[in-house]
Amino acid sequence: MNAPLPDLALCASEPIRVPGAIQPHGRMAVLGPDGALVAWSANWAGADAARRAAGLVGARLAALDGEGPAALGRVDVDGAPLDVLGHRSGALVLLEFEPAVDEAGTQAPIYSLARHFLPLLQRAGSVAELADLAAREIKRLTGFGRTLVYRFDEEGHGEVLAECIDPGYDSYQGHRFPGADVPAQARELYRLNHIRLIPDASYRPVPLLGVEAGWEPASLDLSHAHLRSVSPVHLEYMRNMRTLASMSVSIVVGDRLWGLISCHDHAPRQLPFQTRAACEHLGRLLSLQIGAKEDNAEVAQRLELRRLTLQLVAQLADSDATLQQLAGEPGLLLHMARAGGAAVVLNDDCWTAGETPEREQIAALAHWIAGKGVETWACDRLVQEFPPAAAFRERACGVLAVSISQVHRHLVLWFRPELVRTIRWAGDPRKEATVGDGRIHPRRSFASWQQQLRGRSLPWSPAELAAAGELRHALIGIVLRRAEELAEVATELGRVNKELEAFSYTVSHDLRAPMRHIAGYVDLVQDMEGKQLSERSMRYLSHVKEAAAYAGHLVDALLDFSRMGRSALKRKRVDTHVLVEELVAELARQEPARAIEWQVAGDLPVLWGDPFLLQVALRNLLGNAAKYTRTRSRALVRVRAVRGPEGEGIEVEDNGVGFQQKYVGKLFGVFQRLHQTEDFEGTGIGLASVRRIVERHGGTVWARGEPDQGAVFGFSLPAGKGDAKPREQGED
């Protein structure tokens, strides 16, 4: 979004911690480890004056501990009362002297803060309210013409949350200040030293002088010194803003510079030490309160997200627990991640909810994210990472994705739309500096302008990422449980199959036996008693026998049929020409009285299949042709090859009784018959077997017919590896 700003790099080289000078509203004396004067500011009457003043502090130096300056009371130097601040910097002691100013009121500012401000702070409901209170209170304590409370975002841009201004001051409420306004180095100083006052931006810095010749002023670290002279760039910036006095109080939450209370005045403004101490204290109180509020908000958000996650998971667990059900709960799914759209991707399938990119775009994105091999991935500037996203950035500039499987491309994705938000910048961060004389001049135009933030979405919060991670765990749990259930079902299925097998075994053995017995005993009776039985009794007995025989055939056929579904295919290259010739010979033997004209084409294919099953299929087709041409005086059966894009096969055409094409769907069903049993024998399983065999090979069956005009039955099988090698050359 932002081009890199030049001043960050340049300001980073400004010696802001070691300027070698102080502001002129106070004086400095620097003591060595032995208590002797090492350096003094040029605004003392001389080294001796500095030494004398330091000597007045005397034993109070023992009170110095910690990093920041501590108040060391008041000394009287040549009749002028001076407030003294002191702090240690390495082996040195830095003493700062400022003219003492007595407060006009009776109450110390710190006391009024505790009494007046603290209860208000505790009652505040939100961060915005806290900021507002702080702005008012600082204004009240200091009298600055404008106080602002602003917060830094993750990129360092400041956003004005609250302000309190006098008439004649520009309002910055709601404005943003580019991160470049406060360089990283200065930011770090704000984090360490929580208050800084510049009483007069037009000041002339007072140099530091060493007692020893050759002492280098820039060797003195003034990070914690209140009097530290600030960057000339900053002073220029202030003057450009028509600000002659400024004060900053840091808001540090945890260890992070969260924001600043920034005060400006059109006129120079000095603040007594007690007031500054109160402001610094206010900053600390505010920091604590903000930290607590943010923690609470974070906890509340996490709780809410957890509630949503659990709700989602519960609904999923109640359903058949397939992941695409997630997309069936669009409200929850979208709400959970504050997303505009979501998608569930299971390999090549995709389910969506809300506003999402197109399916192909999601697929490409999912592929790309899955390639990262991470559990959770989030981005609020997708186009930068994944350029094809430019095509759908209105819908998805931000993506949060969780991966549900290490093996499969199973992802849940949330999309956030482009955040074309209108931001009022206090100045144009892109028209930053004009480098002409080698120095940086802050911008001169502060007219608000608007920038549309393109190519990015609202960022994903840590709580949202955590919730997505939690959802991921829950989903994996569900998926695993589902897999276990499936495994159980498979086991159960295996058991049922075994039972079925046992059942068919029983049928094969125990049902055949009684049929055989009926037929056998009837035969014996006919043989032995035939002569004494009436013709009618003999006829009845023959019906009994036929029925038993038919039942036996039926059992056999059923068994054959069930076996076709169970036994594994043992595929080989099968020369159907040989197979057909053998079957034709067999059929001719079975009905020697019939004269069937068999026209078998010479180019029948070599198929890739189970030889036994293919034989069963062909026997059925040829047998049917023979059977249904029985009424013809001249029976003709043609067997020919079929070759198509889906594979090779065989068609058997007869000139028999045929069938009505509208019944073609019934032909291949089990026990479906289109003719009377008296006319044509059979169990009605033959064509069902053919279909099952062909389909188990991955092939197709078909039939065409017309009553009394004959029929055509055919099948084809997909090309297998057997086809890769053509029939041996030269051997036939």
Partner 1 sequence: MLKPILLVEDDKRDLELTLVALERSQLANEVIVVRDGAQALDYLLREGDFRERQEGNPAVVLLDLKLPKVNGLEVLQRVRATSHLRSIPVVMLTSSQEESDVVRSYELGVNAYVVKPVEFRQFVTAIADLGVFWAVVNEPPPGSQKASRRYE
* Segment (H or E) for 285: helix 273-318
> Residue 173 — φ and ψ, nearest 5°?
-50, 130
Among 1, 12, 374, 513, binds partner 1 (CB under 8 A): 513
Parallel, antiparallel or unpaired: strands 710-717 and 700-706: antiparallel
| Residue 512 binds partner 1 (CB under 8 A) | yes
Helix (H, G, I), strand (E, B) or coil at 101: coil
Residue 315 in tokens: 């609904």
Among 30, 148, 220, 515, binds partner 1 (CB under 8 A): 515
Among 508, 537, 672, 700, binds partner 1 (CB under 8 A): 508
Q: How many CB atoms lie within 10 A of CB 35?
A: 11
Interface region with partner 1, contact rule CB under 8 A, candidates 427-435, 471-479, 506-514, 617-625: 506-514
Distance CA(324)–CA(345), nearest Å, equals 8
Q: Closest by alpha carbon to 195, among 160, 224, 220?
A: 224
- DSSP, residue by residue, 20-62: SEE-TTSEEEEE-TTS-EEEEETTSS-HHHHHHHHHHHGGGGG
- Find the shortest distance in angstroms from Cβ 324 to partner 1: 42
- Find the shortest distance in angstroms from Cβ 549 to partner 1: 6
- Find the shortest distance in angstroms from Cβ 510 to partner 1: 7
Residue 398 in tokens: 């931000």
Among 288, 433, 458, 549, binds partner 1 (CB under 8 A): 549
| Residue 266 binds partner 1 (CB under 8 A) | no
Interface region with partner 1, contact rule CB under 8 A, candidates 116-124, 347-355, 520-528, 586-594: 520-528
- Find the shortest distance in angstroms from Cβ 606 to partner 1: 26
Strands (E) located in 355-409: 376-379, 398-403
Interface region with partner 1, contact rule CB under 8 A, candidates 34-42, 171-179, 547-555, 632-640: 547-555
Which residue's CB is nearer to partner 1, number 518 or number 642?
A: 518
- Find the shortest distance in angstroms from Cβ 620 to partner 1: 17
Interface region with partner 1, contact rule CB under 8 A, candidates 124-132, 277-285, 433-441, 501-509: 501-509
Q: How many CB atoms lie within 10 A of CB 385?
A: 12
Interface region with partner 1, contact rule CB under 8 A, candidates 16-24, 160-168, 508-516, 574-582: 508-516
Distance CA(397)–CA(389), nearest Å, equals 7
Distance CA(159)–CA(150), nearest Å, equals 5
Among 505, 540, 663, 671, binds partner 1 (CB under 8 A): 505
| Residue 517 binds partner 1 (CB under 8 A) | yes
- Find the shortest distance in angstroms from Cβ 536 to partner 1: 22
- Find the shortest distance in angstroms from Cβ 715 to partner 1: 23
| Residue 516 binds partner 1 (CB under 8 A) | yes
Among 349, 394, 523, 529, binds partner 1 (CB under 8 A): 523
Q: Is the CB of residue 580 less than 8 Å from the CB of residue 620? A: no
Going by C-beta distance under 8 Å and a sequence separation of 6 or more, which residues neighbour residue 211? 36, 37, 38, 39, 40, 47
| Residue 519 binds partner 1 (CB under 8 A) | yes
Q: Is the CB of residue 166 less than 8 Å from the CB of residue 136? A: no
Identity of residue 395: R
Interface region with partner 1, contact rule CB under 8 A, candidates 95-103, 556-564, 624-632, 645-653: 556-564
Among 126, 171, 542, 567, binds partner 1 (CB under 8 A): 567
| Residue 546 binds partner 1 (CB under 8 A) | no
Among 132, 304, 428, 556, binds partner 1 (CB under 8 A): 556
- Find the shortest distance in angstroms from Cβ 665 to partner 1: 31
| Residue keyed to tokens 């999601």 | 362
- DSSP, residue by residue, 410-462: EEEEEEE-----EEEESS-TTS----SSSS----S----EEEE--S--PPPPH
Strand partners, 410: 346
Among 15, 520, 565, 707, binds partner 1 (CB under 8 A): 520
| Residue 524 binds partner 1 (CB under 8 A) | yes
Which residue's CB is nearer to partner 1, number 466 or number 507?
A: 507
Interface region with partner 1, contact rule CB under 8 A, candidates 210-218, 372-380, 555-563, 572-580: 555-563
- Find the shortest distance in angstroms from Cβ 626 to partner 1: 21
Q: Is the CB of residue 470 less than 8 Å from the CB of residue 309? A: yes
Distance CA(36)–CA(18), nearest Å, equals 21
Q: Is the CB of residue 230 less than 8 Å from the CB of residue 16? A: yes
Distance CA(352)–CA(461), nearest Å, equals 23
* Segment (H or E) for 664: helix 664-667
Parallel, antiparallel or unpaired: strands 635-644 and 596-600: parallel
| Residue 681 binds partner 1 (CB under 8 A) | no
Binding mask 340-379 for partner 1 (x = CB under 8 A): ----------------------------------------
- Find the shortest distance in angstroms from Cβ 542 to partner 1: 13
Strands (E) located in 454-521: none
Which residue's CB is nearer to partner 1, number 124 or number 613?
A: 613
Distance CA(505)–CA(501), nearest Å, equals 6
Interface region with partner 1, contact rule CB under 8 A, candidates 64-72, 339-347, 396-404, 514-522: 514-522
Q: Closest by alpha carbon to 186, among 239, 257, 285?
A: 257
- Find the shortest distance in angstroms from Cβ 548 to partner 1: 7
Residue 545 in tokens: 């026998």
| Residue 521 binds partner 1 (CB under 8 A) | yes
Q: Is the CB of residue 339 less than 8 Å from the CB of residue 415? A: yes
Among 408, 421, 509, 594, binds partner 1 (CB under 8 A): 509
Among 510, 529, 586, 679, binds partner 1 (CB under 8 A): 510
| Residue 690 binds partner 1 (CB under 8 A) | no
| Residue 6 binds partner 1 (CB under 8 A) | no
Q: Is the CB of residue 574 less than 8 Å from the CB of residue 614? A: yes
| Residue 696 binds partner 1 (CB under 8 A) | no
| Residue 552 binds partner 1 (CB under 8 A) | yes
Number of residues that bind partner 1 (CB under 8 A): 23
Residue 78 in tokens: 């040549």
Under the rule (CB under 8 A), what is the footprint of partner 1?
505, 508-510, 512-513, 515-517, 519-524, 548-549, 552-553, 556, 559, 563, 567
